Structure 1
């Protein structure tokens, strides 16, 4: 802390020997007070001043205030002058009030702050403005109304003047239960007592399934009196819980299924459909699900195997690589004029006996081909209109998780004709058609194609070429091949 300016002068110096003359030398000639942090000048007489006073003179480039000599710098006191400052003795500022203390300037500051009985002081309690002699201050503090008294219940310090009224608001003061149960609780715990402990409070029977309500003090008697009833109710609740656990376990299994979405697009479908004959099909690119290869095959006018199947629009899912398991799926087809897409669900078993009409014990068909939507797809041929003439079939697959990520093995969204190996052979022979930027590409898949297909092939090619020419002025996506959009989980 910086030294205090006490307003000392020569009259306060102890008049013993040369002490008074030394005291006069410690007074600053400018402010006439004791020179705190004194400094010496380089004038001829080495006069001493307060550091604050002489700094102002030096900044103004003035002469020595005492001898008017030239000053170029100031410095700390010499050892001799410093000893002189420390040796000077001063009287207490309250010496006229019979305080006989004497000491150095530093000791005088401590005496006035803590010891002098004649020094006037303020009451230290917050809110009290009383001032008096230190000799009387100790007695005042003992009876001051602003002194803090600790409460035995809430442990807070309460001003003495408000202590008598404190029990009416004390949060820890014990009060009687409002329901007159005979218990006293702390004021802050009354609500908790009423909700959890009060014997007069109403509560439900703690036994699972029992909805009886009673006073809390009667719960024990109720439990003893209705043991048989509680046993029957508990049995029913256990049955309900078992059903819930069974449902949750199956839900948890379904939540960990592998899911996969893929879209097959056929540009210019409405125009191309007019040129197709039974036995012609659209094939998607291969895609991977659970580490196995799949693809979609669409027969718009049936597989052409016999007259019964000739006019049935069919969608098949081909699984290769020896896939075994249960596949669930949903097929969605978006059409103009329908508020929601046409949606069909299916569930197929691969690698095991599966019900297929009368051949209930037949294994999976050759090449893993399985029908997922057959006659229900007649909407694709009868009065069906598609956005921009493009058929889009969205397939969503679900199967029990195998803890492996699906890898895409083949995907093409646009470009030239599809040239894939392993295109599945239509059952009974026929033509496999793929749409490219030049129109309809026809290829024979089988040694003996049906006569109808041979007769209508030139017409189909011509119609497809016309469709491609009509669509060349539109967007590039309209000329894209039968394709598989990038798969995304759902």
Structure 2
């Protein structure tokens, strides 16, 4: 590109280090010589009045300047007279596009321009291999039929754009396809799994009878009511009968073996009765209390007290409990309306020794201390005041000797354990329920 001196000087910058005066930049200006006006008397032959002073022009052309592209990154500096030669090679200087698209492009960007942005560039589509100019290539990109793209059904396959429609219709593993048996639609790659469960999927009779192919959902009904060769087990098979045959043979078998089947059922019932008795015994042993302490809950106190007042000698007995797994077997009893000295005014409490499985191994007479505790059910446990009575058995008393198979009707205890009036003063009764603890202690310590 050819530039005039005036074009250069409009964009020139001079380095401060070459300024003829310190801290000032040298500005390119015309020399301050007077230029006389050309007149008719002077004539055009006086050239010194028309052209600048040669010395001033020489000084200007010898000035050191930056390249006019120094803001774009060019580092060149030199005399003004050499600027034109430098611009002929400066990589930041704009030159016409070599493809003649009409654009002025810096030399440093020319390669990218010719390759990517020049409208007249020639480029080949990487997918179909055809050549295009710049504008037509941009229109072609994104529509090339040979470009591989991912299936829109997200099956993970890349297919050429021209084959995508066929792929989605016939090949895609995520396309929806109808089951040929039940007509419901499923994703293609799950269809085989569906066939293993489809109710209308055709299956053959496992007995290889003459029936035609059946739907899976109809197979059970066929085997149960229709298959002529299905081997049906005898209804008394749980009783031990091993017969198996088709329904016609089965009917005959049942009619001819009634006595045999009845004998087998009687045997099964007898066996089950023994098993039930054994289980009940085991369950009873598992539910027994072997701790030596019984917490006895007596509910519906009001109705039971009223009943005790109408029935003389009405006694409530607790579940039996043991002092240990192989210890003494005991049982507590309560007379809500009293007994003996406490009749009609107190609650009486007693303890009985029952015949146990290990009495032959125990020491007699029974000598453990026994305590009865009536719990105060106060809402503030710190304020509770329980009633406690205890005793140590007298070894001479017959109630503490080894019991016979028929235990004594009365045990040993406290006829006046707690009065009916005392029950009303505190929270011994709550929700019409009382709790009595019976504790047996082998250390013979009496509760106070």
Q: TM-score, normalised by structure 1?
A: 0.29
Higher Cα radius of gyration: 2
| Higher RCO (C-alpha 8 Å, min separation 6) | 1
